[in-house]
Amino acid sequence: MPILRSAFIALSKNRTMRRFSERSSIGRKMSSRFVAGLELEDAIRVAEAVNRQGISVTLDSLGESVTTEGEAQQAAQIYHQLLDQIAARKLNANISVKLTQMGLELSPKLADGIAESLAKHASATNNFLRIDMEDSSLTQTTLNIVRRIHAFPELRGAIGIVIQAYLYRSQADIEQLVAEGIRVRLCKGAYKEPAEVAFPSKADVDKNYVLLSGLLLESPIYHGLATHDEAMIAEAKKFAAKHGIDPSHFEFQMLYGVRRDLQRKLIQEGYNVRVYIPFGREWYPYFMRRLAERPANVIFLAKNFFRA
Ligand code: FDA
């Protein structure tokens, strides 16, 4: 793993830097490139603007690794409000949730219960709950929770998961999820993982991403391919064309503030695109992972900052 990527991932876990940055106005200004704003209203406003471009969204109320049950319940409330707001304002939007924000590290039962109630609410409002994937120590528990909730007949289709192409186990996981009819978002993976569990080289991660995209595209379920990598996107388009898979059968997903040109181009070509929109006060770890993916962003942000 390149040194800068490792350094930003280490910084993403630094509590002192986090406390300092989240309170500073400079930090907030820098992060606004990737984060919609601090409040739920900011996220709704940005979602409406993105929807107007023909792009659907998924909303993420930032935060992870809560330390009390109260914090987990509070985080869940924001998502319940989001589901109501999406319905009331008829947004083309769903929600993305991290189980550590719902208390997974305190008690898997707590996170499981909160996820189930969110899935029920999503189902009642004709919506969908995506469970984000975090580091590999949580993969199995996250899969167990999503599969358990999806097994309720009335919640079928209301909950989905994320699979990371950098993990060796992902092909087997996808085969099982597809057999159970569970919607998958495929991404490369954003955490620092040891070679025992994840491909260390980018070439191998990319190769696996292409292989797994094919498995998802040819399955009868609607999945999401989350990537800004034009080579991955080109391979998916090629696979779909070759196998007669209609563009309406899947969607590309990208992060708010990243490759807006490519998002628009895909829409013009007739593909479905969904943008992941994070908002909230706890933006620091998310922001640092985005810098880890592309350290050149630091220079880009600094230039814009001093220009403004
Ligand atoms: P890659 O990193 O190879 O980048 C390809 C090109 O994309 C770069 O050359 C650059 O041009 C552009 N690019 C990528 N990242 C950029 C950035 N931050 N800023 C500017 N340009 C950038 N991960 C995870 O572990 N669990 C999860 O639940 C999710 N969820 C998720 C949802 C959505 C909608 C997306 C798009 C991504 C995630 N991820 C994630 C993150 C994912 O795992 C991965 O870290 C990033 O998407 C970067 O990988 P790419 O596929 O874009 O390719």
Note whether 300 and 273 are same-domain residues.
Answer: no
The model's confidence at residue 29, banded by pLDDT at 50, 70 and 90, is: confident
- Torsion, Cα of 175, 179, 182, 188 (10° steps): 10
Q: Is the CB of 285 under 6 A from ligand 1?
A: no
Note whether 294 and 247 are same-domain residues.
Answer: no
Note whether 52 and 11 are same-domain residues.
Answer: no
Distance 24 CA to ligand 1 centre (A): 26
Q: What is the CA radius of gyration of the chain?
A: 18
* Best of 101, 188, 304 for a ligand 1 pocket test (most atoms within 8 Å of beta carbon): 188
Residue where the block lists tokens 């034009």? 230
Return phi, psi of residue 282, to 5°.
Answer: -95, 65
Among 28-32, 105-109, 228-232, which stretch is predicted with the lowest mean pLDDT? 28-32
Q: What mean pLDDT is predicted for residues 112-133? A: 98
Q: Are 41 and 282 in contact (CB under 8 A)?
A: no
Give the per-residue pLDDT at 183.
98
Note whether 7 and 73 are same-domain residues.
Answer: no
Note whether 224 and 302 are same-domain residues.
Answer: no
252-289 pLDDT, tens per residue?
999 999 999 999 999 999 999 999 999 998 888 888 88
Length of the chain: 308
Distance 263 CA to ligand 1 centre (A): 13
The parent domain of residue 11 ranges over 1-34+289-308
Q: What mean pLDDT is predicted for residues 39-43? A: 94
- Torsion, Cα of 273, 53, 47, 25 (10° steps): 100
Of these ranges, 24-28, 128-132, 289-293, the one predicted with the greatest mean pLDDT is 128-132
Q: Please give the number of the atom of ligand 1 that sits closest to the Cα of 227.
A: 51
Note whether 172 and 134 are same-domain residues.
Answer: yes
Note whether 125 and 136 are same-domain residues.
Answer: yes
Give whole-number Cα distances, 272 to 57, 103, 111, 129, 223, in Å.
11, 33, 31, 18, 11
Note whether 161 and 219 are same-domain residues.
Answer: yes
- Please tell me the distance from the alpha carbon of residue 109 to that of residue 111, in angstroms, as a whole number: 6
Distance 289 CA to ligand 1 centre (A): 9
Note whether 75 and 52 are same-domain residues.
Answer: yes
* Best of 58, 60, 202, 229 for a ligand 1 pocket test (most atoms within 8 Å of beta carbon): 229
Note whether 140 and 153 are same-domain residues.
Answer: yes
User: What is the CATH number for 126?
Assistant: 3.20.20.220
Q: Are 223 and 217 in contact (CB under 8 A)?
A: yes
Q: Is the CB of 190 under 6 A from ligand 1?
A: yes
Q: 308 pLDDT exceeds 50?
A: no
Q: 189 pLDDT exceeds 70?
A: yes
Q: Is the CB of 301 under 6 A from ligand 1?
A: no
For residue 97, give the DSSP letter.
E
98-110 in b/e form (b: 16+ CB < 10 A) is: bbbbbbbbbebeb
Predicted TM-score (pTM) of the model is 0.94
Taking all residues of the chain, what is their mean pLDDT, rounded to a whole number? 93
- Please tell me the distance from the alpha carbon of residue 122 to that of residue 83, in angstroms, as a whole number: 7
Give the per-residue pLDDT at 305.
58
Q: 102 pLDDT exceeds 70?
A: yes
Among 76-90, 126-140, 286-300, which stretch is predicted with the lowest mean pLDDT? 286-300
Q: Is the CB of 164 under 6 A from ligand 1?
A: yes
- Please tell me the distance from the alpha carbon of residue 55 to that of residue 250, in angstroms, as a whole number: 13
Of these ranges, 10-14, 64-68, 255-259, the one predicted with the greatest mean pLDDT is 255-259
Share of the chain above pLDDT 90, in %: 78
139-171 pLDDT, tens per residue?
999 999 999 999 999 999 999 999 999 999 999
Note whether 224 and 147 are same-domain residues.
Answer: yes
Note whether 220 and 236 are same-domain residues.
Answer: yes
